């Protein structure tokens, strides 16, 4: 090696990723956390004389001043400084620090509050009073200062001064809590007249319904009956019809009920019901109903409520006649009243509102009006001919070429059966299947014939059903179950064979499972084994292999008890080889787990070791995320499986490639 040249760096032999990946984010977070940990313990300092105390104070003050000089806007530095001076009983210095802080940030409420608390804690009343006076003058919208000011004056027994502070505060028209605090203070000292005057001022500034109610209840507690009634009346007049609130009316009516003025209460309820819409008077309705139940007659309340609701429903229908929910509520209201003529009138008006477009989503809600109308005529009025006429008109109205409703056809057929008109029901369902076939119609018709034990008709219907929808696996299974129920095993097997030969099926796995279960129940094990093999030709799903192996274990063998184990093991081996060729890793893992459980129960140490040697290692890897871009590459971690036989194969391939390259080089 020539002198002056750097030696070549050693080659890195192992380029595999480390088992634990450390990111830059983890390194930075750990460095930040360790930065906050103290590296050494601070020794305790003992002060033995005044000179050391003076030196200690001078050093601490210098630290505080340096911190403030670095960042004057950091309020915590000022507060720590002033708190330390207070702990040293240096109140003049503490005040100086607070004043300097206020010069920097006088809008900060925390400085004022700490300053005031220091003065109050050390019984410097005049200082505290002056501070609070300054704070409330400079920051009148911060309620904390006012609360603390009034509390201090009241604790000192200076009620007139506290009242003066409240009066200054009230000039700024604060929120409701401030007014209530003032009123409660007056009541604590028995000043009811002052409290009444305050309520009047309070309500004039905050005329919300709850405040009127508070005022009225205050007068009620002090037995001012006429004044209480006057307050409620004034509240209703002030709000008018536009802003009328049901809470005020309910409270007013309850007050009159307490005084046993039932007629007054009834007038109040009716006044509110006549002026408030339904959306804003639900509580008023409930209270009125309870009132009439206790103090009135039933007919009166029902007439009032029904009349009011009819008016409301008519208004909503006039605004939007296609709002079918309103029609439902309106019909229920009339049904509860029990007037048949009115009920029929409402239903006739409702079904006349045909949806504007021939789209099923517009008709779904509308069609239930016909259903409810028919059920009402059948169950309540027991008018059979009118019910049949309703179903007929409804079926004529529906555009069956565009869409249909199987529910209507089935309900009409069930109605005919209840009238013992079996031929009429069959005619309806046959017409439905011929005009607009649907799965639900076929199922309903077949269920009807099954209940009547007309099995030949069921076969005919299943045939038509499968001609209409040959991909419907549940229909094939039900058809086969019917033949099995009738003891026609050959027919059942023929149906299954015809079903699995269909080019497309919606749920083929259920069909194959039903066929296999049928052969197992019939103890046709060779047929079952043949079915499994045919299924594996179509799909080599891992669950099919596992199910096949479990089947071989479950069936009895006369000559050799180990035959089932041998066959199952052969299935597992073939399945593993096939999945390995297709490079399906997760499926191989599932198969190996099932194989491992099988060998634990039915194998020996040698066969168990074969499976153990095939089990993969789980490795954490990184790859580009799906939402990565060229400018912003996002990496995500995932788990991969490394199988021992794959590693051996890859090493052999790599060795052959190197040998081939060396041969070409020569």
Shortest CA distance to 532 belongs to which of 558, 506, 500, 566? 500
Q: At 20, list the tokens.
A: 């634990």
- Report how far Cα 273 is from the mean position of its chain's Cα atoms: 37
Shortest CA distance to 94 belongs to which of 71, 69, 111, 72? 111
- CA gap 426, 449 in Å, rounded: 9
Supply the DSSP string of 184-240, one letter for each residue. Answer: HHHHHTT-HHHHHHHHHHHHHH---HHHHHHHHHHHHHTT-HHHHHHHHHHHHHHHT
**HSE value, Cβ hemisphere, 13 Å, CA-based, for 203:** 20
pLDDT tens-place string over residues 421-473: 888 888 888 888 888 888 888 888 888 888 888 888 898 888 888 888 888 88
The SS3 of residue 621 is strand
Q: At 244, list the tokens.
A: 């009328």
pLDDT at residue 2, rounded to an integer: 44
Which is it for the CA torsion 588, 590, 591, 593, positive or negative? Answer: positive
Shortest CA distance to 594 belongs to which of 554, 550, 646? 550
For residue 307, what is the DSSP state? H
The SS3 of residue 420 is coil
Q: At 650, list the tokens.
A: 């890859």
CB atoms within 10 A of CB 132: 23
pTM: 0.50
Which is it for the CA torsion 334, 335, 337, 339, positive or negative? Answer: positive
Shortest CA distance to 183 belongs to which of 175, 174, 192? 192
pLDDT at residue 3, rounded to an integer: 45
- Report how far Cα 447 is from the mean position of its chain's Cα atoms: 39
pLDDT tens-place string over residues 232-268: 889 888 888 888 888 888 898 888 888 888 888 888 8
Low-confidence ranges of the chain (pLDDT < 50): 1-5, 648, 652-653
pLDDT at residue 164, rounded to an integer: 92
Q: How far apart are the first and last CA of the chain?
A: 28
Q: Which residues pair with 640 in a beta bridge?
A: 619
pLDDT at residue 301, rounded to an integer: 64
CB atoms within 10 A of CB 276: 18
């Amino acid at each position: 090696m020539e002198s002056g040249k750097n030696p070549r760096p050693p080659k890195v032999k192992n380029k595999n990723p480390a088992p634990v990946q450390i990111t830059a984010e983890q390194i930075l977070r750990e460095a930040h956390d360790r930065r906050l940990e103290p590296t050494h313990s601070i020794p305790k300092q003992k002060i033995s004389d005044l000179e050391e105390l003076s030196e200690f104070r001078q050093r601490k003050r210098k630290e505080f001043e340096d911190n403030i000089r670095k960042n004057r806007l950091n309020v915590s530095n000022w507060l720590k400084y002033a708190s330390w001076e207070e702990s040293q009983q240096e109140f003049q210095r503490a005040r100086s620090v607070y004043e300097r802080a206020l010069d920097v940030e006088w809008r900060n409420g925390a400085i004022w509050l700490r300053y005031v608390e220091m003065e109050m804690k050390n019984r410097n009343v005049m200082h505290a009073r002056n501070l609070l006076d300054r704070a409330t003058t400079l920051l009148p919208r911060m309620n904390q200062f006012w609360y603390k000011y009034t509390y201090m004056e009241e604790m000192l027994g200076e009620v007139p001064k506290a009242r003066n502070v409240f009066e200054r505060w009230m000039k700024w028209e604060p929120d409701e809590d401030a007014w209530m605090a003032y009123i409660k203070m007056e009541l604590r000292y028995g000043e009811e007249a002052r409290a009444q005057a305050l309520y009047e001022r309070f309500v004039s500034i905050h005329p919300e319904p709850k405040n009127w109610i508070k005022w009225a209840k205050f007068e009620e507690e002090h037995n001012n009956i006429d004044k209480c009634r006057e307050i409620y009346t004034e509240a209703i007049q002030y709000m008018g019809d536009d802003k009328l609130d049901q809470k005020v009316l309910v409270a007013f009516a309850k007050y009159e009920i307490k005084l046993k003025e039932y007629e007054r209460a009834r007038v109040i309820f009716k006044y509110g019901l006549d002026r408030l819409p339904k959306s804003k008077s639900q509580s008023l309705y409930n209270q009125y109903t309870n009132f009439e139940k206790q103090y009135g007659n039933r007919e009166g309340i029902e007439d009032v409520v029904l009349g009011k609701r009819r008016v409301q429903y008519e208004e909503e229908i006039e605004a939007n006649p296609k709002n079918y929910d309103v029609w439902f509520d309106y019909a229920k209201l009339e049904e509860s009243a029990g007037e048949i003529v009115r009920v029929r009138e409402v239903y006739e008006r409702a079904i006349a509102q045909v949806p504007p477009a021939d789209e099923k989503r517009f008709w779904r809600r509308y069609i239930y009006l016909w259903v409810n109308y028919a059920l009402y005529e059948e169950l309540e009025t027991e008018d059979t001919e009118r019910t049949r006429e309703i179903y007929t008109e409804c079926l004529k109205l529906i555009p069956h070429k565009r869409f249909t409703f199987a529910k209507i056809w089935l309900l009409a057929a069930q109605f005919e059966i209840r009238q013992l008109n079996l031929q009429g029901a069959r005619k309806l369902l046959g017409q439905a299947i011929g005009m607009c076939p649907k799965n639900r119609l076929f199922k309903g018709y077949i269920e009807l014939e099954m209940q009547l034990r007309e099995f030949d008709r069921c076969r005919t219907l299943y045939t038509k059903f499968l001609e209409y929808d040959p991909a419907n696996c549940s229909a094939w299974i039900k058809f086969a179950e019917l033949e099995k129920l009738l003891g026609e095993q050959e027919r059942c097997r023929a149906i299954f064979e015809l079903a699995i030969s269909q080019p497309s099926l919606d749920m083929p796995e259920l069909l194959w499972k039903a066929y296999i279960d049928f052969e197992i129940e019939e103890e046709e094990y060779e047929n079952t084994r043949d079915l499994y093999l045919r299924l594996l030709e179509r799909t080599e799903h891992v669950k099919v292999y596992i199910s096949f192996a479990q089947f071989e274990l479950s069936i009895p063998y006369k000559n050799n008890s180990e035959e089932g184990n041998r066959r199952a093991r052969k299935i597992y081996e073939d399945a593993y080889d096939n999945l390995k060729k297709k490079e399906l890793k997760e499926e191989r893992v599932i198969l190996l787990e099932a194989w491992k459980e099988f060998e634990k129960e039915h194998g020996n140490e040698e066969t168990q070791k074969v499976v153990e040697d095939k089990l993969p290692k789980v490795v954490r890897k990184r790859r580009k995320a799906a939402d990565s871009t060229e400018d912003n590459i996002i990496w995500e971690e995932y788990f991969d499986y490394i199988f021992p036989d794959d590693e051996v194969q890859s090493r052999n391939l790599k060795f052959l490639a190197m040998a081939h390259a060396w041969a070409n080089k020569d």
